[in-house]
Chains A and B, each alone.
Chain A
Amino acid sequence: MSKIACFVEKYNFTDPREEGALQNFKLAAENQGQEFHFLFREDISDVAKYDSVFIRATTDPLNTAYVVSKTAWELGLKVIDDPESITICGNKIHQYALFEKYNVPYIPTFFLNKDELHHKKISDIFDTLGKPVVIKAPYTSFSRYVEKAACETSFRDVAKRFFKKSDVLAIQKFTPTSFDWRVGVLNNDVLYVCKYMIPKGKWKHGAKLRGKPTVIWGRTVSMKKQEIPARLREVALKACSVVGKGLYGVDIKEVDGDYVVVEVNDNPSIYAGYEDSMDHDIYQRIISYLSE
């Protein structure tokens, strides 16, 4: 029997669909005869008592989740998300540089350094990528810190804000589609497939209503993983292979009949009745992987 710690923060239990998924993990573990405990921030010194760690709290190289991940790794435990995956997925600049190096088809992207924010560079970018462009801070998650700019003024405005935290930004071709493919991948194999629909009149999965702070999310339409188009599967697995062997959610756009990667996310959302609605075995497979 193996002991699994699931690192969570209080906010992981605020949405009943996420809480439902967490309970499904616990149930799946117990059905397999494994112990499964939620590990909160105040108990992270107990990590050493477990055989593996499954992180559900938001990951970033600078927050507590990284400390938990790296501590577990140093102690020789199996861990999702492992520290290297957090490092590569937590910084999209790092990730796109790897895509470039290993020929992963990804959305056309420029890197912009802090000292390059001048008229000529911005015009060059607009000339190459067209208008508008998407400006992405490397630490983006849940559709945040990704904004559109159609003129130099708004480009400068967004870039200046994002440059406060990062000295390099990603500038991408604006590629509106009615949905993004979301492919769940575990250990180089497809775990689930769904479409994250873009809310009507918006251009990203999580979008703000004009003048309101609340974020609206597009629907999640899931499909059986056996029905995944072969090329989509190939692109998703290739993108993950440059990151690692853990659990990922790959966002992919379908453009002119081919597929381009938007990004690979570690710590992908799993909500009961959403990502799992066609492939119910995702809980068992993740637990089996952790207790192998």
Chain B
Amino acid sequence: MTVLVVSNIDLTNNLQVMKPATFLDSTIKEATLNINNEYRYLKTGYYVSMHAEILGNYVIPSCENIIDSSRTPILLLRAAKAGISTLPFVVTDSVKKITVEFGFPVILFAVNPFIYDGYKVANNKSALYRAMKSLGMNYKFAVCAQPIKGELFAVKTFLGKTTTDIDCQLQEIAEKVYKIFKIPLCKLHIQKTSDKAYLCGLQPLSKEELSEEDLQIISKEVSLISEQGEHFGV
């Protein structure tokens, strides 16, 4: 089986890669692997997957998974359903609700159409008010809050793989998250206590965050997939 690789990133090892703009103008009917540093809704990375779906192509990632993985409450809900450890969360615009449910410290992710990156940690009430004001865009939108139980890690994930020097619990979560959502390139936010790791969030990477080593991992994984049709259930 042939896999069409569409990428906005320059990959190494002589891979046959199509630019997103070329693909969007085409009607190629082939299983499609969409490599992009960000899969934000309404951005090119999203439209590539959408175009592939309309053409009837099997595509990684799917539009549904792109949207769901970037909505923290849905990410956590679906991840927990599939057996990944997560902490309880609330979606709310009420400071009181968060303090009653979790106390401090808490981690907050935005749930609105404008903020797609970053998070805030609040250790006390005034910090929580400030965080809600900024992530909720002046309390207009809700936020997703989770308690903090351990240390926070940001883990770059490439087709389920991470850089080699990473703790095996984090690596395991990265693999599981990829199995469910199949977001080729992303950054996972994970909390780690003395004995357990919990998924907290998934966000896009900027091109600047990709190192030489990262590009090599991505290229290697992409070539494995395009040669063997792995990940496409073949």
Chain A residues within 8 Å of B, Cβ to Cβ: 41-42, 44-45, 60-64, 66-67, 70-71, 74, 83-84, 87, 91, 93-94, 97-98, 101, 113-115, 138-139, 165-168
Contact = CB atoms under 8 A, between A and B. Distances in A.
Nearest to A67: B73
Given A67-B73, A67-B111, A167-B47, A98 B54 contact: yes
A61 B41 contact: yes
Nearest to A86: B67
Given A94-B50, A166-B42, A167-B42, A67 B64 contact: no
A230 to B, nearest CB: 30
Given A66-B67, A66-B71, A167 B54 contact: no
22 contacts: A41-B92, A44-B92, A45-B92, A60-B113, A61-B67, A63-B111, A63-B113, A64-B142, A66-B67, A71-B77, A74-B74, A74-B78, A94-B54, A97-B50, A98-B54, A101-B54, A115-B21, A165-B42, A166-B43, A167-B44, A167-B47, A168-B42
B112 A87 contact: no
A62 B63 contact: no
B169 interface: no
Of B47, B54, B94, most buried by chain A (CB within 10 Å of CB) is B47
Contacts of B68: 70
B51 A97 contact: yes
Nearest to B67: A61
Interface in B80-94: 81, 90-94
A41 B63 CA distance: 25
B155 interface: no
B183 to A, nearest CB: 16
Contacts of B73: 67, 71
B219 to A, nearest CB: 25
Residue among A45, A62, A139 facing the most chain B CB atoms (10 A cut-off): A62
B99 to A, nearest CB: 14
The 6 closest A-B pairs by CB, nearest first: A62-B113, A166-B42, A97-B54, A167-B44, A61-B67, A70-B74
B141 interface: yes
Contacts, number: 83
Contacts of A168: 24, 42, 47
Interface in B55-78: 63-64, 67-68, 71, 73-74, 77-78
Contacts of B51: 97
A114 B68 CA distance: 25
Interface of B: 21, 24-25, 41-44, 47, 50-51, 54, 63-64, 67-68, 71, 73-74, 77-78, 81, 90-94, 97, 111-113, 141-142
Contact of A62 (B21, B41, B64): B41
A94 B63 CA distance: 10
Contacts of B24: 113, 168
Nearest to A114: B44
Contacts of B42: 91, 138-139, 165-168
Given A64-B142, A67-B71, A93-B47, A42 B54 contact: no
B71 to A, nearest CB: 6
Contacts of B141: 63-64
A87 B111 CA distance: 16
Contact of A42 (B41, B50, B63, B97): B97
Contacts of B111: 63-64, 67
Nearest to A70: B74
A79 to B, nearest CB: 13
A269 B91 CA distance: 26
A62 B112 contact: yes
Nearest to A166: B42
Contacts of A71: 73-74, 77
Interface-centre pick from A66, A94, A165, A167 (highest chain B CB count, 10 A): A167
A64 B113 contact: no
A167 B8 CA distance: 14
Nearest to A100: B54
A113 B91 CA distance: 35
Contacts of A42: 92-94, 97
Given A44-B142, A66-B74, 9 more contacts: A62-B71, A63-B112, A70-B74, A71-B74, A87-B63, A94-B54, A113-B24, A166-B42, A166-B43
